[in-house]
Amino acid sequence: MYLDNAATSFPKPEKVYEAVLHAMRDVGASPGRGGYRCSLEAGRIVYKARESVADFFSIRDSSRVIFTHNATGALNLALQGTLVPGDHAITTSMEHNSLLRPLYALRKKGLELTIIPVGSDGVINVEDIRRELRANTRMIAVSHVSNVCGAIQPIQEISELCHNSGALFLVDAAQSAGHVPINVELMAIDLLAVPGHKGLLGPGGTGFLYVAPHVALKPVIQGGTGTNSTAEEQPLVVPDGFETGTHNLPGIAGLQAGIEFICEVGLSAIHQRENSLLIQAEQALRNITGVVIHGPANSSMRCSVLSFTASGVDSALLAAELDHGFDIAVRAGLHCAPLAHSSMGTAPGGTLRLSPGWFTTSEEIALFSDAVVQCIDKIRNIDNNS
């Protein structure tokens, strides 16, 4: 039973597998690298995917969508491509290392960095950000939904704060894209980093960065773009100058099929199903002695993931018992967000996190809950007898 869709979604819709195979078996060529028919067909697949992404996120100009290999690539491009020494950036303690580590690296080169501590419910207090604004604040960078506890952050208020202060707004949508609606126009998002392989149901090795038209981006990787070959400098044209090297054509084809599947099923149907599975799990877990659910108390302020600890039980051991005894895949530990656990009071051991997906059933959640009871009993009995 796979309950780690926050890491990467599995299984994928059938049409995603078909699209990947079609790109590999029937098309084969590299897009934008030849004038022959199969290269042109590959180019059409990439164009169609870019248009689908743009439609899904209400992006007016699809050329502002830059394909990357994951959310990490998109975040690195957004941060390294805009911030310079002397700039000030604000982020929070709820962030993933994919956002924090590039910021730490930039800090070594002269970036001023403020990390806002977040309370134990994992929800950002917008006033805490407002207090830290400076004349040179160039960016506010936050995740839309916490990958540790599922807290949905007050994106709209943070966006207003950004625009009133002239800072760029970077949103890490790793745990929200494909789960809740994102409209870059209404939310006034300047930079949106998205993995293709999580909620969008595409294959591994896919993702993208949306860059608003007024944002000047510097490329962070130099190389071939298939055009402008005599220029010594990397072209600044979006998306070509930023998609250097061979595209992941099968991945991009699969991503397009994933988005198509979501549109067929309906984003709100997906959100409702995932939420009802999380509520079912939460209710069962709350009946177990010593279990604490972390994050916002109100389930309507949470999505995608549920994190818990059980008193006297090591989360990593519990995850291993669930895997070996019941073939259940869940993630234990710090989930690449160490500061979030300091805020939530779950450091150093972290939490056990489950993240159901569209294909998870209510029966599976019931089996999972029973298995947790048995594993916790087993671990506590071993400890009592030793």
For the annotated catalytic residues, the residue numbers are 336
Pairing of strands 351-354, 331-333: antiparallel
Q: Whose Cβ is closer to ligand PLP: residue 42's or residue 155's?
A: 155
Query: Rounded CA gap, 237 and 229, in Å?
Result: 13
Q: How far is the CB of 195 from ligand PLP (least distance, A)?
A: 3
Q: Kindly state the tokens that stand for 20.
A: 């990947």
Q: How far is the CB of 217 from ligand PLP (least distance, A)?
A: 19
> Which spans of this chain sit near ligand PLP (rule: CB under 6 A)?
7, 70-72, 96, 98, 143, 147, 172, 174-175, 195, 207
Q: Whose Cβ is closer to ligand PLP: residue 16's or residue 71's?
A: 71
Q: Whose Cβ is closer to ligand PLP: residue 175's or residue 351's?
A: 175
Q: Whose Cβ is closer to ligand PLP: residue 32's or residue 202's?
A: 202
Q: Kindly state the tokens that stand for 156.
A: 């709209």
Residues making up the chain, counted from first to last:
386
Q: Whose Cβ is closer to ligand PLP: residue 19's or residue 94's?
A: 94
Q: How far is the CB of 150 from ligand PLP (least distance, A)?
A: 11
Q: How far is the CB of 176 from ligand PLP (least distance, A)?
A: 9
Q: Give CB contacts under 8 A, 24+ apart, made by 280-286.
A: 280/362, 280/365, 280/366, 280/369, 281/306, 281/354, 281/356, 281/365, 281/368, 281/369, 282/306, 284/365, 284/366, 284/369, 284/372, 285/369, 285/372
> Are the C-beta atoms of residues 205 and 246 closer than 8 Å to each other?
no
Q: How far is the CB of 67 from ligand PLP (least distance, A)?
A: 13
> Are the C-beta atoms of residues 90 and 129 closer than 8 Å to each other?
yes
Expressed in angstroms, the distance from the first to the final Cα of the chain is 31
Q: Whose Cβ is closer to ligand PLP: residue 43's or residue 203's?
A: 203
Q: How far is the CB of 241 from ligand PLP (least distance, A)?
A: 22
Q: Whose Cβ is closer to ligand PLP: residue 70's or residue 315's?
A: 70
Q: How far is the CB of 101 from ligand PLP (least distance, A)?
A: 11
C-alpha 1: how far from its chain's center? 22
Q: How far is the CB of 65 from ligand PLP (least distance, A)?
A: 16
> Are the C-beta atoms of residues 169 and 318 closer than 8 Å to each other?
no
Q: Kindly state the tokens that stand for 60.
A: 């007016």
Residue 2 to residues 261, 280, 328: CA-CA distances in angstroms?
20, 16, 6
- Other CB atoms closer than 10 Å to residue 264's CB: what's the count? 10
Q: Whose Cβ is closer to ligand PLP: residue 146's or residue 225's?
A: 146
Query: Rounded CA gap, 193 and 211, in Å?
Result: 9
